[in-house]
């Protein structure tokens, strides 16, 4: 399982605390909250893209929980080397957004300052905004490796060899309900009838954000072919590429310190054993406690330049002679009983639960239905067409 950077941090924070406890304990125990300290978790990347910047704060202190708890009520500020101050406001629990639009300027340094509701102060090191470098061409191609699928690449020039990159993406795909029907079931009194369907739930769109750590140092590439880096691989039987698919690839130019930090997290996430002796004792970031120098602080304050490129493709572009990938459900039609019984729910109960959609009338005059996901795409996405969408 690929974890986000913060999930990786939290996972290893728990592992480290457990090891520390076990080092002084000879009896078996059930790990619980009361034996572990807490740690502030910081997640922030300030970019050179003009807009509202974000800082996410949370608190990792419950060993048995996986998701850190939001750190609320803090005062957050970013200060540059010219003394300009950018205040942040808490917009949702633990998420702080700058009060004004601003962008990091190349060569200028930035520092994150935090004061929690309890009065504890934290500060980052000064981070210099790296040089901006445009993203290369985005391309996709079919491959038989890894069971077969579509590999999405970003190309780069040899002159980029001195850069450190992180890639993130937003993927959007079209969903077509395979058993959508223009008619729907409805009760008129006790009688079940067919009516014209009110909502158009045949075609939808869904967007996913990348969660994994995807970094690249072109200087380590030894291939003599065109320099390229894979940012996304999609199995050919994945339903998300059944129709039209789009990906917005974002290239972040990192500082060397940021790259090294992500590299540590990436290696940790790819490791099978969180208690391996090869794992670092603690992921040192660039944020420290002003009041308590010995306090552990998780996370990193990044400053990066960003550029992006979008790509569209259809399944038939790569597999023109093949059947579409299987849908998320086999969508077998079935005939529920009209009256409830002990063995299965009635058609009325399934309708009340919004669990089915009308499919057809059988030869014996009964209503056949399919699971809702087969006739209603809104289970998987939204009918709203994205502004950027192109057919």
The gap between the terminal CA atoms of the chain, to the nearest Å, is 33
| Alpha carbon of residue 94 to chain centroid | 18
Residue with more model confidence, 300 or 267: 300
Residue 378: other Cβ atoms inside 10 A? 17
Q: Is the pLDDT of residue 158 over 80?
A: no
pLDDT of residue 61: 58
**Domains along the chain with CATH numbers:** 5-132+254-307 (2.60.40.10)
pLDDT band at 138 (very low <50, low <70, confident <90, very high): very high
Contact 298, 285 (CB under 8 A): yes
Three-state SS at 10: helix
Residue 212 C-beta-side C-alpha neighbours within 13 Å: 12
Q: Is the pLDDT of residue 1 over 80?
A: no
Nearest to 390 by CA among 241, 205, 246, 223: 246
| Alpha carbon of residue 165 to chain centroid | 18
Nearest to 40 by CA among 303, 291, 304: 291
User: Which pair of tokens denotes residue 202?
Assistant: 């045949």
Nearest to 59 by CA among 78, 73, 45: 73
Contact 112, 44 (CB under 8 A): yes
Q: Is the pLDDT of residue 150 over 60?
A: yes
d(CA 74, CA 118): 8
Give the containing element (helix H, strand E) for 256: helix 256-270
pLDDT of residue 275: 39
Lowest mean pLDDT of 283-292, 324-333, 358-367, name the range: 283-292
pLDDT of residue 209: 97
Contact 381, 175 (CB under 8 A): yes
Nearest to 75 by CA among 115, 35, 126: 115
User: Which pair of tokens denotes residue 195?
Assistant: 């009516």
325: CB partners within 8 A, 6+ apart: 236, 237, 238, 239, 241, 242, 315
pLDDT of residue 360: 97
Q: Which residues of 162-178 are buried (b: 16+ CB within 10 A; e: fewer)?
A: ebbbbbbbbbbbbbebb
Q: Is the pLDDT of residue 270 over 80?
A: no
Contact 326, 239 (CB under 8 A): yes
Residue with more model confidence, 329 or 68: 329
| Percent of the chain scoring above 90 in pLDDT | 71
Residue with more model confidence, 375 or 38: 375
pLDDT of residue 7: 52
Neighbouring-strand partners of residue 305: 253
Return the DSSP state at 148.
S
Nearest to 133 by CA among 104, 162, 108: 162
pLDDT band at 63 (very low <50, low <70, confident <90, very high): very low
Summarised one tens digit per residue, pLDDT across range 219-238 is: 776 454 557 899 999 999 99
């Amino acid at each position: 399982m690929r974890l986000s950077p913060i999930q990786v941090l939290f996972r290893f924070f728990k592992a480290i605390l457990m090891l520390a406890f076990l080092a002084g304990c000879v009896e078996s125990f059930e790990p619980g909250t009361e034996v572990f300290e807490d740690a502030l978790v910081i997640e922030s990347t300030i970019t050179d893209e003009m807009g509202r910047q974000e800082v996410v704060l949370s608190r990792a202190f419950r060993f048995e929980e996986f998701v850190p708890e939001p750190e609320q009520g803090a005062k957050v500020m970013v200060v540059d080397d010219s003394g300009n101050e950018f205040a942040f406001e808490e917009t949702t629990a633990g998420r702080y957004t700058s009060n004004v639009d601003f962008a990091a300027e190349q060569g200028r340094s930035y520092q994150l300052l935090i004061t929690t509701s309890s009065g504890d102060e934290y500060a980052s090191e000064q981070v210099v905004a790296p040089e901006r470098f445009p993203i290369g061409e985005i391309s996709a191609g079919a491959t038989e490796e890894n069971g077969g699928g579509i590999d999405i690449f970003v190309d780069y020039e040899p002159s980029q060899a001195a850069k450190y990159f992180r890639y993130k993406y937003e993927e959007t795909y079209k969903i077509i309900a395979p058993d959508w029907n223009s008619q729907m079931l409805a009760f008129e009194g006790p009688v079940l009838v067919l009516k014209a369907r009110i909502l158009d739930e045949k075609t939808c769109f869904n967007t996913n954000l990348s969660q994994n750590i995807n970094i690249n140092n072109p200087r380590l590439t030894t291939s003599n072919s065109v320099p390229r880096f894979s940012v996304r691989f999609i199995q050919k039987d994945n339903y998300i590429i059944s129709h039209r698919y789009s990906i917005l690839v974002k290239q972040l130019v990192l500082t060397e310190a940021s790259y090294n930090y992500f590299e540590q997290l990436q290696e940790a996430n790819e490791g099978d054993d969180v208690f391996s002796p090869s794992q670092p004792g603690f992921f040192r970031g660039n944020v420290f406690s002003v009041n308590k120098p010995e306090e552990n602080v998780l996370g990193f304050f990044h400053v990066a330049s960003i550029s992006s490129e979008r790509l569209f493709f259809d399944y038939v572009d790569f597999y023109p002679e093949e059947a579409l990938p299987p849908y998320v459900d086999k969508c077998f039609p079935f005939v529920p009983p009209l009256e409830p019984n002990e063995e299965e729910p009635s058609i009325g109960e399934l309708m009340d639960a919004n669990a089915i959609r009308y499919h057809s009338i059988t030869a014996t005059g009964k209503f056949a239905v399919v699971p809702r996901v087969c006739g209603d795409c809104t289970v998987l996405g939204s009918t709203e067409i994205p502004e950027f969408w192109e057919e």
